[in-house]
Amino acid sequence: MKDNPNPMQKAHAAPRCTATSKRSGLPCKNPAVKGWSVCRMHGAGGGHGPGKANPAYKHGMRTKEAQEMRKDINELTRMSRVLGKLVDDGGQSA
Ligand SMILES: [Zn+2]
């Protein structure tokens, strides 16, 4: 016990909750949950999952994957339009 005379030192040094009390207006100061910036009383571990686990999930066309796919398709369409324009211009000038 020579190395650490106070076993609570580590707990006291833990990162603190960043929330502000709506009653007093003062910072919460409770220890934050690991991986969160807030304590267990201020929403750590809360929220809902992504995709089908999300209560707002309707048809899947607004998921991250669907949006990425749309983005890729739009990019390909844009590129094909540019290519088509280049081919048309090449044909007219040559
Ligand atoms: Zn808190």
pLDDT reported for residue 2: 62
**CA pair distance 84, 46, nearest whole angstrom:** 50
pLDDT reported for residue 36: 92
Distance from residue 52's CA to the centre of ligand 1 (Å): 30
Distance from residue 74's CA to the centre of ligand 1 (Å): 44
List Cα–Cα distances, 94 to 33, 82, 84, 91, in angstroms. 69, 18, 15, 6
Distance from residue 81's CA to the centre of ligand 1 (Å): 54
Domain boundaries, the chain: 1-47, 49-94
Residue at 28: amino acid letter:
C
pLDDT reported for residue 5: 83
**CA pair distance 30, 16, nearest whole angstrom:** 6
Q: How many CB atoms lie within 10 A of CB 39?
A: 19
pLDDT in tens, 22-78: 999 999 999 999 999 999 999 898 888 888 888 999 999 999 999 999 999 999 999
Distance from residue 64's CA to the centre of ligand 1 (Å): 31
